[in-house]
Amino acid sequence: MDDKGTLIVISGFSGAGKGTIVKKLINTYDRYALSISMTTRAPREGERDGVEYFFSTKEQFEEKIKEGGFIEHACYCGNYYGTPRAYVEKQLAEGKDVILEIEIQGALQVKERFPESLLLFVTPPTAVELENRLRGRKTETEEQIAGRLSRAYEESEGMDNYDYIIINDNLDKCVEDVHSIALAAKCEPIRKKDFIKDIRNGLKAYSK
Ligand code: 5GP
């Protein structure tokens, strides 16, 4: 059905600012729904279960994998992360554009399973800026920062697989870029199949 929502995947290096972009997008426009992931990572200070993530044990997570409860899942820096299926399918059916803020392995699984999804990659303007932002948020140890920067290098090799690259040097501009891409996507033929069929049928009567 043409009025189904779009699945929008937002990835980016840890510290690139994708969380801030997504928060502002959701608060500014009501066409979006944000999927809350499940993870086995420990909550950071201030994170609440069911708000930032559904926090779970490894056993609970693996049980949900077995049940087919995720549309994708991946292991990132030693922890599981996954997108619960039920919420995403419900919101898409209701016409909401659903945002998944996930890393690259999960993003590629989504593209394979839902080829019409949009893959966006958020990056700071430079590598040094990424290091500064990661240090500045003071939520990780030195070792974790080093791990995330090394992981960022690996992830940079996958950037070509995304549909759009969003360079984050201005929050408002990034939010507008993402919103414009989501609106433009609505006009893609892949999302207008019913319309194309109907107008073609309507025009048949005029065919000579
Ligand atoms: P953090 O531990 O910083 O919250 O997240 C680490 C990474 O996991 C980030 O790149 C984040 O986007 C990603 N992530 C969060 N939820 C999911 C998910 O459900 N699936 C996948 N594949 N990655 C996720």
pLDDT tens sequence across 21-75: 999 999 999 999 999 999 999 999 999 999 999 999 999 999 999 999 999 999 9
What is the pLDDT, as a whole number, of residue 14? 82
Is residue 44 one of the residues assigned to a domain?
yes
What is the pLDDT, as a whole number, of residue 98? 98
Is residue 178 one of the residues assigned to a domain?
yes
Tokens of 138: 């003071």
What is the pLDDT, as a whole number, of residue 139? 81
Is residue 38 one of the residues assigned to a domain?
yes
Nearest atom (ligand 1) to Cα of 13: 10
What is the pLDDT, as a whole number, of residue 3? 83
Is residue 2 one of the residues assigned to a domain?
no
| DSSP secondary structure of 87-108 | HHHHHHHTTPEEEEE--HHHHH
What is the 16 CA–ligand 1 centroid distance (Å)? 13
Instruction: Tell me the longest C-alpha to C-alpha distance in the chain.
Output: 73
Is residue 207 one of the residues assigned to a domain?
no
Is residue 92 one of the residues assigned to a domain?
yes
pLDDT tens sequence across 158-181: 999 999 999 999 999 999 999 999
What is the 104 CA–ligand 1 centroid distance (Å)? 9
Residue of minimum CA distance from atom 24 in ligand 1: 102
d(CA 146, CA 193): 47
What is the pLDDT, as a whole number, of residue 38? 98
What is the pLDDT, as a whole number, of residue 53? 97
By residue range, what is the domain housing residue 20? 7-191
d(CA 36, CA 57): 16
Is residue 199 one of the residues assigned to a domain?
no
Where are the extended beta strands (E) located within 35-174? 38-39, 54-55, 70-76, 79-84, 97-101, 118-123, 164-167
How many domains, the chain?
1
80 lines ligand 1 (CB under 6 A): no
- In this predicted structure, the answer to whether residue 2 has a pLDDT above a threshold of 90 is no
Nearest atom (ligand 1) to Cα of 83: 19
Is residue 196 one of the residues assigned to a domain?
no
Q: Between these two residues, 138 and 118, which has the higher pLDDT value?
A: 118
Q: Any idea which of 14-18, 58-62, 161-165, 190-194 has the lowest mean pLDDT?
A: 14-18
103 lines ligand 1 (CB under 6 A): yes
What is the pLDDT, as a whole number, of residue 1? 63
Q: What is the CATH number of the domain that holds 139?
A: 3.40.50.300
pLDDT tens sequence across 79-117: 999 999 999 999 999 999 999 999 999 999 999 999 999
